Structure formats: C-alpha cells, structure tokens
Chain A
Amino acid sequence: MKSKFFVFLPLALTLIFLIGPFIVIVMAGLSSGNNLAFPPPGLSLKWVIKVFSIESFRDSFAVSMFLAIFGTLAALILGIPASYAMSRYKVPGAETVRLIVSSPIIVPGIIVGLALLRYFVVPLSLSITLALFVAHTALILPYAVRVVSASLNNLRSDIEEAAILLGASRAGAFFRVVLPNIRGGVLSAFILGFVTSFNQVPVSLFLSGPGVRTLPIDMIGYMETTYDPSVAALAALLAFLSIGIVFVAERFLGFTRYV
C-alpha cells in the first residue's frame, strides 16, 4: 500500500498541475463578476456571450484560422515531397536537412521571430499577412516532415515497385499507393500543425502589426487594457476547441500513433 502511495502521489500532483490551470480558466470565464478573479463570485455565461461581440477577437480569430489552415497546407505541400525524397532516395546530407528542418522547434521562437523581422520582413518590405504566413509555414514544416516521415518509413517501398510493374507511372504509384497508405500520418500532421500554428505566440508577436494580429496576440493586447473575464472565457472556448479536434482525431485516426 505504502509503495503504491509513493507512485501515485507524483502522478496525482502532475495531473493537478496540468489540469489545474485549465479548471481555473474555465471557472474564471464563467464568472458573474466584472473582474478576472478566481474563485469567481458567481457563475454566468455573460462573458462567454460577450466574447462573440468583440470585433477585434472576430478579426484576429479569422487571421489565426487562415494561418493555421493555409500555413499547414503549405507546410504539407513542401513537407510531403521532402519526406518522400529523404525516405526513398539517398539524399546527400539528408541528416543535415532533417536537422535544419527541425531547427524552428529547437531555436527559441523569440529568436526566430526577431531574425525573420529584422532580416526578412523589413528588407523585403513584406505585408504583415504574408510575413505571418511564411513564418507559420516554416514553424509547421518540422512537424509535417517528422510525422509524414514516420509514416513513410513504416511503408514498404516494394508496393510502389509493384504498382509500377502493374503499369502505373512513378507519379501514379505515389498518388494511388503511397499517399493512401500515409493518409493517417498526413491528417495527423495537419492537426498537429494546425494546433501549433493556432497557439503560436513568440514569432507572431514580432510579426503582428497594425490591423493584422493573431488571436493569442490580440488576447495579450486586450488584457493590457481591459481586465474583465472575457479573455478567460475565450481561452476556455479555445481549449475546448483544441480538445475536441484532438479527441475526434484520436477517435477516427489513432492520432497518437503518429505523434
């Protein structure tokens, strides 16, 4: 009994530590009071409703959705062929390529953001939206390459040869045989990329500008001027959205097999 206690104690503490903030935020968002506070004085849905009437949230939500969807698509369009090449051919320096592709995960986002702003966005005078799009694509690319590579490596290459001997072209073999068999990995990469992009703060912080900002940046800005529970309500909504996506993905794809 005693030994079990010492195993479960750290586990329980870990869970409390992970779930605690989430409970605090949800409760704070459901507050009936006018200030961000925990525990709330009473419960109501008024701040949840108010979130939908705040115009800047609606705009920045659209920006975040655009970046998450199209940034991830762009990363997959670049990442799938790159993964395919690295898994099927002896690409010279494939390990170096893999490392460079992974660098946006390894290098702190704040540095990536600063570097992109100072040496990429400003000299080329890119529009804010384009800068954000390029940055998010680059940030998602490592996830796309890693997840897609993992499922490609589990796929035998002789099924492609079999398809070719049955009359398929190289491209035909890829679309008819390879792609359908890595579909789960591609969808998982999409979800992982989407969530990563949607939650991204440090890089977006540097690249957001007047009129165009992502939702997390907008929330930080809102909190600097207004200290009401609507931010908590929005955070809770976003958390439920993420959980819902991952739950559906796990249910239908076995998402965690790929990540």
Chain B
Amino acid sequence: MSEHTLLSLNDLSLSYGKNTVVDRLNLEIARGELIALLGPSGCGKTTTMRAIAGLMTPSGGKIVLDGRDITRVPPNRREVGLMFQSYALFPHLSVFENVAFGLKLKGVRGATLSDRVNEGLRAVGLGGYADRRPADLSGGQQQRVALARSLVMDPKVLLLDEPLSNLDARLRLEMRTELQRVQRANDLTMVFVTHDQSEALSLADRIVVMQDGAIEQLGTPEDIYNRPESAFVADFVGFENIFTLEGGKLTGKGEAFALPEPLPEGAKGMAWRPRFVRLGDGAFRGTVIGAAFVGQMREYVLETPIGQIKADVDAGEPAHSLGKELAFDLRVEDAVVLKR
C-alpha cells in the first residue's frame, strides 16, 4: 500500500446469499483520484460501490479507508458520501433542509449551519433555490442538490452512481465539467459507477473495467481505449473486429485464417478498430452488405469468409456500392494485441 492510497479494497468478496457477485477484488485508490468502475449491468460495479458505502456487508475481505479498517463500520459512521442515480432527495424537505440534513445530525446549528448550507448551494450554482421543494426543480437541478448535500458533509470519498446517465446531452457536458471542477477544487476522491464507456473515458483519471465480479482491466482512459488487453474490453471500447489466435491462425465467427507475418509473442487475440481496416487491397476478400454515410466517415459491413468485418473509411474516398466484392487488409501493425 503506497502512502498516497486513500481507499483500498483487499480481497473483497460480496454475495447475495449463495450467489457471489464480486470475488476477491483488489483495488487501491489514491487520494484525489477520480476512478470509474465500468462494466455491463450485473458485473458487480454497483455492488462494490454499495459495499464501500457500507450498504452491503462483505462476505470476505477488507475495506480500508484512510488507514482505518471500515469493513464493519456502519454506513452512518463511514464519512463516505453517495450520490444516488435517482438523487434520493427528501421530498418533504426544502432544498435548504435537504442539504442541512447531515450537518444537523452532526450537531451543526444556527449561523454556522446556514452559512455552510448556502455555501454548498452556491458551489453547485443553486444559490437562489434554498426555499424550493425538490419536486419544483428540474432533473439537473435535483442532481446538483444531491451533490451539494453530499459535499457539505466533507466526505473522504464521494461515490456517484451513474452520475450522467439521467441527463440529456447538453446537461451531461455541463455536469461532467461541474464534477471535474468540484473534484479539483476540493481535491476530492471520487468513485463513480457507469455502464457507459464514453462517460468513463471523459471523466475518470483511471478506469476499472469489471466483468463477472472481477477486474478485467485497470488503467488510464488512454490505456483502456487504445490498449485493451482482452476481447471483452476491446469490444466494450468499440473494437468491432475481434479475433482469437489459435495455432497462429486468426479465428472469428467464420473460417480460420493464417496471418502472413510473424505474430507478436504471447498474443491470445487481435482486434482492429473499423477505421484500421484497409479497403481496396490485401489478402482478404469480402462483399459489401451494409454501407452508411455518417458525415466524416462511411461505415461498411463486409461479409467475408472469416466472418463479418466492419470498416470505416474517410468520406472523401470513392464510395463502394452494396454487393460489390472488395479486397481488404488486416495488418498486424494496425491491430491491438490481446494478451487474454
């Protein structure tokens, strides 16, 4: 454990009855880091987040926060904040009372209380909304109240459950900027859960890709996006053409194909983004069965002996019509090599 580690999960196992959802997970999160837990639904990311919050008791392992083992500490004494996906504002209380809720329980009263609440509301741009009810606010405003309510408590870690998924595209950008600003301003450690790769890539310092209750890959957004280590991660970040290597042969949904060049050592698979498939020349042949103009690019789907191939070509290139037979190339130098 490095001296910068704030939160560490050691061999954390989580289960619902006999059904193990997370199996011996290990993760270290540094102070001030913004971490994304990314994965499809059912991968254990939300369960892991709930365990950090203390809303779920681990079946094994330890959770250490700021040097203190909090595995058995009840959620109301953990100093962990959670912004719920549904925001979970208290409908019977005003915005002010919502934000004041936790502070009052801590014994903060009078002028100190109203100063801290108003400061919290101003920090999320809701200075004039103290007297409103949650029901009178838009979804984006409700989320800001929820954020303020967690922030005024000065949590050691702030957990966020799908923080951007309920927002439309414009608000999403706004909230993303807001979260980054708040995080830098307070040097806050944040862990957020998402199933959306673009959300994770755009917001996180590091991404934890999870599948079936285990960490599939851990790395910076650039690592995850450009150097996926497994077919699962490659698929998740948009490598459409993914093959395994069996006995030096490229194996997909169709026939196996022996690659001409010497293969990288230890490679278990190879994947190509659609824009790295070279059309017009090469050892492979396929028939165009789908073509779509999407602005900068044309997206093609080719039916080939090795399976369907997706290829994106600059829209400036001459177009290919449906049914046309084309040569194409999958070059080893363009591929990402999958180690698992």
Give the interface of A toward B (CB within 8 A). 156, 158-159, 161-169, 172, 176-177, 180-181, 183
Contacts and interface: CB of A to CB of B under 8 A. Distances in A.
Nearest to A158: B88
Contacts of B322: none
A156 B78 CA distance: 23
Contacts of A168: 76, 101, 105
B76 A164 contact: yes
A181 B92 contact: yes
B164 interface: no
Nearest to A173: B76
Interface of B: 53-55, 75-78, 80-82, 84, 86, 88-92, 101-102, 105-106, 149, 153
Given A164-B55, A180-B92, 11 more contacts: A159-B90, A162-B82, A162-B149, A164-B76, A165-B55, A165-B82, A166-B105, A166-B153, A167-B102, A168-B105, A176-B101
Main secondary structure of the interface of A (DSSP, over half): helix
Nearest to A159: B88
Contacts of A180: 92
B86 A156 contact: yes
A163 B53 contact: no
A159 B89 contact: yes
A14 to B, nearest CB: 37
Nearest to A169: B76
A158 B102 contact: no
Most buried by B among A156, A165, A180: A165
Given A177-B90, A181-B91, A162 B153 contact: no
B106 A167 contact: yes
B186 to A, nearest CB: 18
Contacts of B102: 166-167
A183 B105 CA distance: 22
Contact of A167 (B76, B88, B90): B76
A172 B90 CA distance: 14
Most buried by A among B77, B80, B81, B88: B88
Contacts of A158: 84, 86, 88
B81 A165 contact: yes
A166 B76 CA distance: 6
B88 A156 contact: yes
A152 to B, nearest CB: 14
A21 B153 CA distance: 63
A245 to B, nearest CB: 24
Contacts of B91: 159, 181
A169 B75 CA distance: 9
A151 B88 CA distance: 17
A169 B89 CA distance: 17
A164 B54 CA distance: 10
Nearest to B161: A158
28 contacts: A156-B88, A158-B84, A159-B91, A161-B75, A161-B82, A161-B84, A162-B88, A162-B89, A162-B90, A163-B90, A163-B101, A164-B75, A165-B53, A165-B82, A166-B76, A166-B102, A166-B105, A167-B102, A167-B106, A167-B153, A168-B76, A168-B101, A168-B105, A172-B105, A180-B92, A181-B90, A181-B91, A183-B92
Please provide the 6 A-B residue pairs with the shortest distance between their CB atoms, ordered closest to farther: A166-B102, A162-B88, A167-B105, A158-B88, A180-B92, A159-B88
A176 B102 CA distance: 11
Contacts of A159: 88-91
B73 to A, nearest CB: 12
A172 B82 CA distance: 18
A180 B94 CA distance: 13
A164 B90 CA distance: 12
